Chain A
Amino acid sequence: MLIVEDLHKTYSTPQGPLPVLRGANLTLGDGETLAMMGDSGSGKSTLLHLVAGLDAADAGTIRLGETDIAALDDAARALLRRNRIGVVFQQFNLIASLTVQANLAFQAKLAGRYDESWQSELTERLGLSDVGARYPEQLSGGQQQRVAIGRALAARPELLLTDEPTGNLDVETGEAVMQLTLDLVARTGCTLLMVTHSASIAGMLARQVRLDRGRLV
């Protein structure tokens, strides 16, 4: 269960403080899938980053199960990401120096939950069996995003966070990747929180919410 309560975040800019989140609230049940939409600058990515423990909130609570993420220090948040959360970004953000196979296994090995058979299944279902020995820059955009999703799911996280995962892909590829993601999420039973601009992609998820001026509506 993910619970976000009265979350606030303000960035300092040369032009003065810029409030991005102004008391955001959100509840997401185990195994639930939710798409978060909103205009540019509405705070979607910021909320996702705070839930992932990539940044610290100014006020409010973020609970994943019994853990209050907002109260954790930097090292504890890193540990949380490593063991319980998977993150997928629009830019894929694969590790350029490692092969596809090593990228896929990276997070699971880091968390100490590497499972050979699950890894094989993931590789096969993501259609990456033939490119395991290649490096990220030798793959197409769609293939790279599938590696990023595989990496995030390889450790069987409780929560999968995705930020515009299909933003860099064409519509057809994007929808295919999305369908694959949802299948695998269902297979692992993890909770999915996705940030997207696309109404059609959002429509593929169980719930949709909209973020407007720092609040979920």
Chain B
Amino acid sequence: MIHILKTLLSHWRRHPMQLVALLVGLTIATALWSGVQALNAQARDSYNKAAQLLGGDRVESLTLVNGALFSDKAFAELRRAGWIVSPVLEGQVRVNGKSLRVIGIDPLSLPRAAALATPATGTEISEDGKGFQSFLTRPWQSLIALSTMEQFGLGTDAPAITETGITLPALTAAENVTPGILVMDVGAAQSVLEAVGKLSRLLIDPDAKTSTTPLEDATSIPLQRTSESEVSGDLNRLTDSFHLNLTAFGMLAFLVGLFIVYSAITLAFEQRLPMLRTLRACGVSALTLTIALLLELLTLALIGGITGVALGYLIAVALMPDVATSLGGLYGAQVSGSLALSPSWWSAGLGMSMIGALAASSYSLAKAYWMPPLATAQRFAWREAQERRLNWQSGIALALLGLAIILYLFGNGLVVGFAILAALLVAGALALPPLLSLILRVGESHAGGPVSQWFWADSRMQLSGLSVALMAMLLALAANIGVGTMVDGFRKTFNDWLDQRLVAEIYLDSLDETRFDAVMSWLDLREDVTVLLPKNRVDVRIEGWPVRVLGFVDHESYRDYWPMKAANPDLWDAVLSDEAILVSEQLAQRLTLRLDDTISIGEWQPRIVGIYPDYGNPKGQISANIDTVAHYFPDAGPGGIGVRTDDDNIESLMEALRTQFNFTGSEMIDQASLKAFSKGIFEKTFAVTAALNVLTMLVAGIAMFMSLLTLSEMRLPQLAPLWAGGLTRRKLAMLELGKTIALALFTAMLAVPLGLLVAWCLIAVVNVQAFGWRLPFHVFPYQWIWLVALAILTAFVASLMPTLRLRTIAPMRLLRVFANER
């Protein structure tokens, strides 16, 4: 076996570029796939840690129906009635310009399943630990992830102070605390959050005996049971689409990388056919030969896999901060910006490399096994083979297109959306060679001179060798156009929407009731304030989804500018009454709501009179009259104030507010800064997409370069007769370059309609399923021109080296074509 392997490996010594192509393909495919998996794994690990902090999905909570705070006497009442519950108070504080989530707990009564309650997790508050006492008693101690401390610029030596001037309990780094969270005793949290005597929920220990006293009899406060999985599931549900998008991109890049692997393996196999037949003739069985080829392949896959996983790690490290910012900005998910990876990730990456290599080589391996030793005598009828291949490719492409249409008509859900996308992309890739063949055939029939005729005919002949690289380029271009159209469409729509939606010149937020009233009274007296737009708000759940109910005042600022997706003619007047509301597009999509539908929110059953876009908000939203919200939700808190003033007065008014009320940066923001902040979050998300786009394009470029380089040697028999017939090497080189550029140009032109189809699928199917909003379809022709130019440039750069080689090739090399021993 060793001897056979040595013989097989000798091929790579003579064709080092093929070996490089194979390893580069495996490395890139594995790198992009495992890089994306690393990003997803890191984010999901953070979500899981957050969920496990208080006991995981098995734990149930008792909360008020509107999610508002309630008196902690409920805790005492329930404990007296035999309920094993544990108090929790949650809220936000701002430190050094960033938001930090505070969780107040009682470690003594915490469910046993909670990460913070288990000594084995290494927490600092285990009963044996010294820190336990200081955690529970004044001046308290709080637990925080080390990465969060670094992120917030905090240390254990100096006390941390919030933007409202409250000193936080001394910080202690803890491994099992999720990034972005500060854990402290519930008493400390009541003090820090200025919610003395208040709780946000009570946890029910799933491992403790349940009380026989019904909940209604145990406490006078109208609490309801909600499953913790519902709460933690929100984050998973909301971020699923983000991770699915990343996975789809990773898979696309993996496939494009495999195109290179397939191309290199097939070429190596074709070139080694005489060697394989000689080995068979020397007595090596088909099985032994196939096993030897398999061993050789797996060894190379292992090498490519190791370098790929290492490169994937570097890609993930580079993208992680942007991903963390996107997840934080879009979903409020706290994800560590630094990367920690498990051995399972490494082995999964290597496994993918092996599986990819096996998939790409299965055809060649099967051919090696069934190959008759005396097949050399058969003439190679490339034309018939190509026609057959083009026919079955067209057939499969049509079948996949049909599948995409059926899925669109009858399917539902995000996975179906991605299945449509995959079917369209693969159908497009398979349809490319038949379509190119058709274009080249038309070109040939219109060709004037003999060189022009050869140009078209030979391009068609070259299709077999280049089609894999061209398919890779088509996929990369179509994905770029599709995603680019969606992103630019979103950017345009989002910017227009922000311009219409943000009518107030100054926004005030994070106000408690006392401050809210004081600010309102003060602003009411000022002459430089033209209009005050106060809001109230409350968080509720409708059919399991988190929904924010916002109350707004009736004003022309809304009537004139608030953009609606669908609305009744009398919507503003209707909203003034108790019976009508406006709902966000994503809530309407999730709950399948239409205009004039009625929904139940507790006892309130309003009618929907308008559906408005609410881009970028993962949660559902209901907007109603401020008095209606106050009526149905007595616990509704202040929801911020929009202040309208003349442009000239913005600066002076903000300065006056800062002086009067000591407003911090996060509590008060002007319209321009708010727009810039909102756009900034999306740009971070787009930065990740753009990086993956560029990487996929790069992979396609490498695929083309490798194909051209390996094919250039095989092209000599086609070129030598023309040279002998009187065409110079220079002219031949230019013709070869022209052919590659022409094929790239046609591929890019075909990528435009496919890319638009991909964009339509992303906008009309995937986005609607993932985020709940549908964007208007905008096209950006400058993008196409740019990408067509990029494709031509890629083809030019990729064919530069083979072209230069041909231009300066020694006549002896060409003459060898005519020699007997060819």
**Contact residues of A with B, CB < 8 Å?**
11, 45, 49, 52, 54-56, 74-75, 78-83, 87, 89-91, 93-98, 102, 105-107, 109-111, 135, 137-138, 151, 163-164, 167
Contact = CB atoms under 8 A, between A and B. Distances in A.
A100 to B, nearest CB: 13
Nearest to A12: B812
Interface in B703-738: 717-718, 720-731
Contact of A82 (B379, B457, B725, B820): B725
A62 B186 CA distance: 104
B812 A11 contact: yes
B811 interface: yes
Given A93-B817, A97-B457, A137-B381, A106 B727 contact: no
B453 interface: yes
A102 B450 contact: yes
- Residue among B381, B819, B820 with most chain A CB within 10 A: B820
B811 A54 contact: yes
Given A87-B724, A110-B451, A49 B381 contact: no
A78 B822 contact: no
Contacts of B383: 135, 137-138
Contact of B818 (A79, A90, A135, A138): A90
Contacts of B721: 93-95
Contacts of B632: none
A45 B816 CA distance: 11
Interface of B: 379-383, 449-451, 453-454, 457-458, 460-461, 717-718, 720-731, 811-812, 814-815, 817-820, 822
20 contacts: A54-B814, A55-B811, A55-B812, A78-B731, A80-B726, A81-B724, A82-B726, A89-B724, A90-B818, A93-B720, A93-B724, A93-B817, A97-B718, A102-B454, A106-B450, A106-B454, A110-B450, A110-B727, A137-B379, A137-B380
B728 A97 contact: no
Given A11-B812, A54-B811, A98-B454, A167 B820 contact: yes
A52 B724 CA distance: 8
B718 A95 contact: yes
A135 B457 CA distance: 11
Nearest to B450: A109
Contacts, number: 101
Given A54-B811, A90-B818, A137-B380, A81 B457 contact: no
Given A110-B725, A135-B383, A95 B720 contact: no
A146 B723 CA distance: 20
A152 B328 CA distance: 74
A97 B454 contact: yes
Contacts of B815: 49, 54-55
Nearest to A99: B457
A78 B724 CA distance: 8
B450 A89 contact: no
Contact of B724 (A54, A74, A79, A137): A54
Which 8 pairs, one residue from A and one from B, show the smallest C-beta to C-beta distance?
A: A82-B726, A97-B457, A109-B450, A97-B461, A81-B726, A97-B458, A93-B721, A89-B818
B720 A98 contact: no
A102 B729 CA distance: 22
Contacts of A54: 723-724, 811, 814-815
Contacts of B812: 11, 55
A90 B820 CA distance: 7
Nearest to A85: B726
A69 to B, nearest CB: 13
Contacts of B820: 90-91, 164, 167
Nearest to B719: A95
Contacts of B822: 91
Contacts of A87: 724-725
Given A55-B815, A96-B382, 5 more contacts: A81-B724, A91-B818, A95-B718, A102-B454, A137-B381
Nearest to A98: B457
A163 B818 CA distance: 9
A164 B820 CA distance: 9
Contacts of B450: 102, 105-106, 109-110
- Residue among B382, B383, B724, B811 with most chain A CB within 10 A: B724
A71 B726 CA distance: 17
A213 to B, nearest CB: 20
Nearest to A108: B450
B61 to A, nearest CB: 73
Contacts of B722: 95
Contacts of A75: 728, 730
Nearest to A82: B726
Contacts of B817: 91, 93
B448 to A, nearest CB: 10
A122 B458 CA distance: 25
A56 B812 CA distance: 10
B726 A138 contact: no
Contacts of A91: 817-818, 820, 822
Nearest to A40: B820
A158 B811 CA distance: 23
B808 to A, nearest CB: 11
A93 B719 CA distance: 10
A4 B188 CA distance: 107
Given A81-B725, A82-B725, A109-B450, A96 B461 contact: yes
B723 to A, nearest CB: 8
A50 to B, nearest CB: 10
A96 B726 contact: no
Nearest to B458: A97
A57 to B, nearest CB: 12
Contacts of A56: 811
Contacts of B720: 93
- Residue among B380, B451, B461, B818 with most chain A CB within 10 A: B818
A78 to B, nearest CB: 4
Nearest to B381: A137
Contacts of A55: 811-812, 815
Contacts of A167: 820
B188 to A, nearest CB: 81
B449 A97 contact: no
A78 B727 contact: yes
B445 to A, nearest CB: 12
Contact of A79 (B453, B723, B726, B730): B726
A95 B717 CA distance: 9
A56 B819 CA distance: 17
Contacts of A137: 379-383
Nearest to A74: B728
- Residue among A97, A110, A164 with most chain B CB within 10 A: A97
Nearest to A136: B383
Nearest to A107: B725
Contacts of B458: 95, 97
A117 B718 CA distance: 29
A24 to B, nearest CB: 17
B457 A102 contact: yes
Contacts of A106: 450, 454, 725
Contact of B381 (A11, A90, A138): A138
Contacts of B729: 74
A99 to B, nearest CB: 8
- Residue among A52, A137, A151 with most chain B CB within 10 A: A137
A111 B726 contact: yes
Contacts of A49: 811, 815
A88 to B, nearest CB: 10
Nearest to B728: A78
Contact of B718 (A81, A96, A163): A96
A113 B722 CA distance: 17
Contacts of A163: 818
A55 B817 CA distance: 14
Contacts of A74: 728-730
A93 B381 CA distance: 16
A11 to B, nearest CB: 7
Contacts of B728: 74-75, 78
A198 to B, nearest CB: 14
